[in-house]
Amino acid sequence: MSHGSEKIYLVETPLGFLLLDDRMEVFKVLHFEDVERGRRLIKSLRAGKLDPEVMNFLQDYLKLGFKLVLEELELMHTLLSEWGENIVFEAPSKGGRWARDNPEKVASFFSKLEGDVLKVARELALKDAEEEVARASTDREKALIEAVKAYDTVTKSLNELVEKFKDWGELIWPGLLGSFKGFEEALKFLASYEEPTGFIVGQIAGLDPGVLKKVELILERAEEAPSSTIISNYAKTLLNLIEFRDSLAKHIEVLVGSISPNVTAVAGPSLAAKLVARAGGVLELAKLSSSTIQVLGAEKALFRALKMGTRPPKHGIIFQHPLVHSSPRKLRGKVARVLASKISLAARMDAFRGEDLSEYLRRELKIKVDEIRRGDRR
């Protein structure tokens, strides 16, 4: 018997799936065994993936020729290939609206009370929210790790290009780059260079008179430089790379501060970002012992010490922290150990508890380091 003109509505509820007819009477009920099972089935449905249990729930009625009305677009695409015109998409559908407006009747289909529907709905919403927060956090951590990698790559490339630029510039204008107070000042000057001899007054405006005099003398002595135009473009490229590197550094600081505020407070944004990236994420950093964090980034030296029997390294990348590298050499190991301990605690707070203890951790770190330094002066 064909039911080609009759519609049935697939409706998802916190307790299970319903098939309703046009009169909003139930055809069939699929109970969820528990909340987690329900979440998996609902997520699969919304993603257009049919669990065998759900397919068995639907196919008898599809074979009979009923028109199945769905609210999920992805599911419609999945079923269209096999069931064609028997699949109808409505958002919201008549059945979906009715179910959301009548929770007490929905509960009765599952032999439950209305309060049960609302309770399970809250559980589903809470678990979905937790999953979304975890996913968003993971995505931000991945973005941070890639940003740190990009920063390291740009910095390494920039350093190499700067060295090549200095060598080349020295061949064309001997002594010119060293005449400026800073390298970026020299870059800005050369980036504006266009003529093979001489500079427009506007191009050298703002230069210190002493610097300007040196530059003019060097330019007067220099012969015509056929490579000067390409050097000028080279300087512009370096300035753009420096600007990009600096903007990337600021982006990383903001990102790591939002992802791991306690570690950022203790280690500083630059070092915090490197630690999180090295470990592979905040949770991964929190799982490391403080002794591992202390030598993170010095793995080669550590393996060499283990193999050769030499003294192991006292610190890895945390040497970049001002409290470590500004300490006397004989105290750096002790300071690094204290710093690693506080970073470990901060990472656990960020990963597991979400409390902001940044002021407490900074204060405790300062107290411990001061004690080490006072002990050395006695």
Tens of pLDDT, residues 132-164: 555 555 778 888 888 999 999 999 999 999 999
Domain assignment present for 127 = no
Say how many residues make up the chain. 378
Average pLDDT over residues 18-23: 82
Surface-to-core class of residue 2, CB atoms within 10 Å of its CB (0-12 exposed, 13-18 middle, 19+ buried): exposed
- Strands of 52-157 (E only): list them: 67-70, 87-89
Work out the percent of the chain whose per-residue pLDDT is above 90.
Answer: 14
Mean pLDDT (whole number) for 273-279: 90
Angle between the N-to-C axes of helices 358-377 and 332-348, in degrees from 0 to 180, rounded to the nearest 10 = 160
109 within 8 A of 26, measured Cβ to Cβ: yes
Cα-based angle 372, 355, 348 (whole degrees, multiple of 5): 60
Q: What is the pLDDT of residues 319-376, one digit of tens each?
A: 888 888 888 888 888 888 999 999 999 999 988 877 788 888 889 888 888 888 887 6
pLDDT at 224: 55
Q: Is residue 121 domain-resident?
A: no
Mean pLDDT over 127-131 rounds to: 61
Q: Which of 292-306, 311-325, 342-356 has the highest mean pLDDT?
A: 342-356
Report the run of H or E that residue 20 belongs to, with start and end.
Answer: strand 16-20
Q: Is the pLDDT of residue 244 over 90?
A: yes
Q: Are residues 265 and 371 in the same domain?
A: yes
Contact indicator for 145, 280 with CB cutoff of 8 Å: yes
In this structure, the number of other CB atoms found within 10 A of the CB of residue 17 comes to 21
Does one domain contain both 240 and 316? no
CATH code of the domain covering residue 163: 1.10.287.4070
Please give the single-letter amino acid code of residue 76.
M
Q: Which position has the higher pLDDT, 152 or 301?
A: 152
- Cα atoms found within 13 Å of the Cα of residue 193, Cβ hemisphere only: 26
CATH of the domain at 90: 3.30.420.220
Residues 265 and 372 in one domain: yes
Specify the DSSP class assigned to residue 313.
P
Same domain, 269 and 371: yes
**Does the structure show a pLDDT above 50 at 76?**
yes
Residues 163 and 231 in one domain: yes
Same domain, 47 and 108: yes
**Segment 225-244 mean pLDDT:** 82
Residue 263 — very low, low, confident or very high, per pLDDT cuts 50/70/90?
very high
Give the Cα separation of 308 and 152 in Å (integer): 30
Of 10-24, 96-110, 117-131, 287-301, the one with minimum mean pLDDT is 117-131
User: What is the extent of the structural domain holding 321?
Assistant: 260-377
Would strands 87-89 and 16-20 be described as parallel, antiparallel, or unpaired? Answer: unpaired
- 70 with 160, same domain: the answer is no
State which of 222, 254, 286 marks the end of a domain.
Answer: 254
Q: Give the total number of structural domains in the chain.
A: 3
Domain shared by 264 and 372, yes or no: yes
Q: Which of 52, 3, 54 is nearest to 28 (CA)?
A: 54
124 part of a folded domain: no
Average pLDDT, the chain: 78
Q: Say if residue 233 is in the same domain as residue 278.
A: no
Q: What does the pLDDT look like over 170-208, one tens digit per residue?
A: 877 777 777 777 888 888 877 876 554 445 444 554 566
Task: Assess whether 55 and 41 both reside in one domain.
Answer: yes
**56 in a structural domain:** yes
In this structure, the answer to whether residues 268 and 371 fall within a common structural domain is yes
Q: What is the predicted pLDDT for the residue at 103?
A: 79
Residue 200 lies in a domain: yes
User: Residues 311, 316, 317, CA angle at the centre, nearest 5°?
Assistant: 165
CB 37, CB 13: distance < 8 Å = no
In a domain, 135, yes or no: no
Q: Which pair of structure tokens corresponds to residue 2?
A: 């064909």
Amino acid 200: pLDDT: 46
